[in-house]
Structure 1
Amino acid sequence: MIAGVKVKRITKYCDDRGFFAELVRDDEQLLERFGQASMSMSYPGVVKAFHYHEKQDDLWFFPSGNAQVVLYDLREGSETKGKTDVYYMGDENQVLLLIPKGVAHGYRVLGEKPCTIVYFTTESYNAADPDEKRIDWNDPEIGFNWDTKNR
């Protein structure tokens, strides 16, 4: 696992009306501080990759659909620099994923239905000075193959 990345299992409390689940609490210390909460929806097969941040950490959750999430450690001095991790998140694996600053990240929507991501950041978005550095989805340094192989 890439250093500094954290995974939290989501606990659902079910009754005859549905369920309730806490995603993140301030007493869990998943985020150094809270900046912004956002959500996005993507259609099947869409790849949104890669980008990274210099100032903020991200906390990702996929409440619907399924996604293949890819991380690549760009941090100088990190014991996991140059390492790639893959996580499968969404309907089939309800987890939170903490992505530290300096770790490139992206995802691909899996399956036949759209995917929704809800994410929390330690900084609010600043349009005048965005903390979002882009890397091509097919960057040769990362070298990730987004194709699904039939086995």
Structure 2
Amino acid sequence: MITIEGVVTKRLVKHCDDRGFFTEILRDDDELLARFGQASLSMSYPGVIKAFHYHERQDDLWFFPVGNAQVVLYDLRETSPTKGVTNVFYMGETNPLLLVIPKGVAHGYRVLGSNPLIITYFTTESYNPASPDERRLAWNDESINFDWITENR
């Protein structure tokens, strides 16, 4: 798989014992975000597809602490060597990853399984309702042409 330029993942480590577990998510010395803007939390129900959108000014960092997701990225950047490349990541409880999504890369996810999904995400800018940095594309946008259907194998 060709990874979209600027996309970074960080595998998380769980420290388990008989009481439960502890995991560091994001540290200031990880150097994953150019700067910190905002942290947010969202919940989605099973089967929901939240796609696609992209940003012109901010980078996102996604983490799914509860549930599992199929995450789809599509590089829209005109000057990127990976323009037109699609990446798919399976993330969540069974595969704890941090995913950095650069500005100009369309992104979305589908909730997998029969339980709700929680996403925690960090951005390099705070949300500004007077001038939101969010451009939307349909979940089935023809230029991306992604098939969200799970095939039985």
Q: Under a length normalisation based on structure 1, what TM-score does the superposition of the two structures give? A: 0.98
For residue 43 of structure 1, report the CA deviation from its aligned partner: 0.6
State which of 70, 76, 100 in structure 2 corresponds to 1:74: 76
Aligned partners of 1:110 and 1:19: how far apart in 2?
23
Aligned partners of 1:77 and 1:122: how far apart in 2?
21
1:119 to 2:121 alignment: yes
Aligned partners of 1:91 and 1:107: how far apart in 2?
15
For residue 15 of structure 1, report the CA deviation from its aligned partner: 2.3
Correspondence list, 1:18-29, <5 A: 18-29=20-31
1:5 corresponds to: 7
2:85 corresponds to: 83
- Structure 2 alignment gaps of length 5 or more: none
Greater than 4 Å deviation, 4+ residue runs:
none
Aligned partners of 2:72 and 2:22: how far apart in 1?
28
1:131 corresponds to: 133
How many residues are aligned here?
151
- Structure 1 alignment gaps of length 5 or more: none
User: Partner amino acid for 2:52?
Assistant: F
What percentage of residue pairs aligned between the two structures are identical? 72
Aligned partners of 1:14 and 1:88: how far apart in 2?
22
User: Partner amino acid for 2:125?
Assistant: E
Query: C-alpha deviations, 1:58-82, integer Å up to 9, x for none?
Result: 0000001110000000011101000
Aligned partners of 2:113 and 2:23: how far apart in 1?
24
1:104 to 2:122 alignment: no
Aligned partners of 2:126 and 2:71: how far apart in 1?
22
Q: Under a length normalisation based on structure 2, what TM-score does the superposition of the two structures give? A: 0.97
Aligned partners of 2:53 and 2:9: how far apart in 1?
20
Query: C-alpha deviations, 1:57-106, integer Å up to 9, x for none?
Result: 00000001110000000011101000000000011100000000000000
User: Partner amino acid for 1:25?
Assistant: R
1:58 corresponds to: 60
